[in-house]
């Protein structure tokens, strides 16, 4: 097969005449081991070029002879290496592209989040603008409605006094003057309420605690409002204690309870009873104002403390929609809570709780 004489082969090292040291090493190792067959990849120089072979060896004649069969795999190995290189390049490109897509996706998500935040801020600004517009409309409606009646009384009484004072006796003149004074006080109280709400919302409503006997204070307040109300309603004050001392802001507490009792009177039928109860337990004072008035619809109860908001069943009963808003701000400054339970046609119960101790410094308004 090799076209060589026997003496050129017999006694020589296997290895195609030194063209493949790998084959020679493989053959020596194969003959030295007990295995009857083996497989190995080797390199061999052929026509001045190194090529790769897959060689299969098998022993014969009790291990004294062996057959080696080689298959040239140079091209397939090069193809495999090229495929591996291409795969590595592809994987690298996939990694790079994935990183680029991830970065682009992250940037897109950030942009979407920024736009959503911007949209939310715009929506909030629009909602705030609508609220301000609605608040402005309510304020204008309240002012025009609540000021019209006292102004008309002042004007009519002043005209009567101007035109007919000579014909009026002292009692009649004084009656018109009292009407004017009452109307002026009504307008002044309304302006004071508006200013109080403005101060509260601006954080300028001050908290100035003093020592106060809550029982005596509440009793005097009930008597004061009973004089104002007259015989149209009966205000009944009751306390479980004869004395209850507390450090609190007298002006704020007076504002809260006056608003609650005035509302109870305003929205209750004639000859009805307004209950005003006080209970002091475990360092907490609880004030409860109960009436048998028109009550509040359920849909309005979530907005009770909004400025200028009035329930939709008040009809022609006058009011500014500021009383409960002022009460809520004042109760917050007192460090307490205010809760309302109401049912249309049955009545309303307002419960205010506050601590019987000084508030922490951070609770005070600057």
Q: What is the mean pLDDT of residues 30-34?
A: 89
pLDDT tens track for 108-118: 999 999 999 99
* Cβ-contact 273, 236 below 8 angstroms: yes
For 13-19, the CB contacts below 8 A with 24+ separation are 14/68, 16/44, 19/44, 19/45, 19/46
Confidence of residue 99 (pLDDT cuts 50, 70, 90): very high
pLDDT tens track for 346-364: 899 999 999 986 444 444 4
- In whole angstroms, give the CA distance from residue 167 to residue 157: 14
pLDDT tens track for 251-298: 889 888 988 998 888 888 888 899 999 999 888 999 999 998 888 888
Confidence of residue 201 (pLDDT cuts 50, 70, 90): low
- pLDDT attached to residue 28: 86
| Number of residues in the chain | 366
Q: What is the mean pLDDT of residues 96-115?
A: 93
Measured between its terminal Cα atoms, the distance across the chain in Å is 113
Per-residue pLDDT for 211 more than 50? Answer: yes
- In whole angstroms, give the CA distance from residue 209 to residue 215: 17
- pLDDT attached to residue 215: 92
- pLDDT attached to residue 133: 67
Domains and CATH numbers, the chain: 6-72 (no CATH), 128-201 (1.10.287.130), 210-363 (3.30.565.10)
In three state form, how does the secondary structure of the chain look?
A: CCCCCHHHCCCCCCCCCCCCHHHHHHHHHHHHCCCCEEEEEEEEEECCEEEEEEEEEEEEHHHCEEEEEEEECHHHHHHHHHHHHHHHHHHHHHHHHHHHHHHHHHHHHHHHHHHHHHHHHHHHHHHHHHHHHHHHHHHHHHHHHHHHHHHHHHHHHHHHHHHHCCCCCHHHHHHHHHHHHHHHHHHHHHHHHHHHHHHHHCCCCCCCCEEEEHHHHHHHHHHHHHHHHHHHCEEEEEECCCCCEEEECHHHHHHHHHHHHHHHHHCCCCCCEEEEEEEEECCEEEEEEECCCCCCCHHHHCCCCCCCCCCCCCCCCCCCCCHHHHHHHHHHHCCCEEEEEEECCCEEEEEEEEECCCCCHHHCCC
Q: What is the mean pLDDT of residues 174-190?
A: 76
Q: What is the mean pLDDT of residues 204-224?
A: 86
pLDDT tens track for 221-230: 999 888 878 7
- pLDDT attached to residue 351: 94
- pLDDT attached to residue 207: 76
pLDDT, greater one: 35 or 241: 35
Q: In which residue are the tokens 């009751």 written? A: 238
Residue 259 CB burial class (10 angstroms; 0-12, 13-18, ≥19): buried
- In whole angstroms, give the CA distance from residue 289 to residue 338: 11
pLDDT tens track for 299-318: 877 777 776 667 777 776 76
Confidence of residue 322 (pLDDT cuts 50, 70, 90): confident
Per-residue pLDDT for 10 more than 90? Answer: no
* Cβ-contact 270, 341 below 8 angstroms: no
- In whole angstroms, give the CA distance from residue 21 to residue 266: 116
* Cβ-contact 239, 269 below 8 angstroms: no
**Beta-bridge partners for 204:** none
- In whole angstroms, give the CA distance from residue 217 to residue 250: 9
Q: What is the mean pLDDT of residues 99-121?
A: 92
* Cβ-contact 267, 232 below 8 angstroms: no
């Amino acid at each position: 097969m090799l076209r060589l004489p026997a003496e050129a082969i017999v006694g020589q090292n296997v290895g195609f005449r030194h063209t493949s040291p790998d084959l020679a090493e493989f053959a020596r190792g194969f003959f030295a081991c007990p295995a009857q067959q083996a497989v190995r990849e080797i390199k061999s120089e052929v026509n001045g070029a190194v090529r790769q072979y897959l060689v299969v060896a098998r022993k014969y004649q009790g291990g004294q002879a062996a057959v080696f069969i080689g298959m040239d795999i140079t091209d397939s190995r090069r193809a495999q290496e090229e495929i591996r290189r291409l795969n590595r390049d592809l994987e690298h490109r996939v990694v790079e592209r994935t990183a680029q897509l991830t970065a682009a996706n992250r940037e897109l998500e950030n942009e979407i989040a920024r736009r959503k935040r911007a949209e939310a801020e715009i929506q909030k600004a629009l909602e705030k603008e609508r609220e301000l517009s609605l608040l402005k409309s309510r304020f204008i409606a309240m002012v025009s409605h609540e000021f019209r009646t006292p102004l008309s009384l002042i004007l009519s009484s002043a005209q009567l006094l101007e035109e007919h004072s000579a014909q009026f006796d002292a009692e009649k003149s004084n009656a018109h003057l009292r009407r004017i004074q009452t109307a002026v006080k009504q307008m002044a109280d309304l302006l004071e309420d508006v200013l109080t709400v403005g101060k509260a919302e601006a954080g300028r409503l001050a908290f100035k605690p003093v020592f106060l006997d809550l029982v005596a204070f509440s009793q005097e307040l009930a008597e004061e409002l009973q004089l104002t109300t007259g015989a149209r309603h009966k205000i009944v004050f009751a306390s479980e204690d004869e004395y209850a001392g507390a450090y609190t802001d007298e002006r704020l507490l007076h504002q809260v309870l006056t608003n609650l009792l005035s509302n109870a009177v305003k929205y209750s039928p004639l000859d009805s009873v307004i209950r005003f109860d006080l209970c002091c337990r475990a360092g907490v004072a609880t004030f409860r104002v109960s009436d048998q008035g028109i009550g509040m619809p359920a849909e309005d109860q979530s907005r009770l403390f909004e400025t200028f908001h009035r329930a939709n069943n008040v009809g022609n009963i006058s009011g500014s929609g500021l009383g409960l808003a002022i009460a809520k701000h004042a109760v917050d400054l007192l460090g307490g809570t205010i809760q309302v339970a109401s049912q249309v046609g049955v009545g309303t119960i307002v419960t205010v709780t506050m601590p019987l101790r000084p508030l922490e410094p951070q609770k005070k308004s600057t």
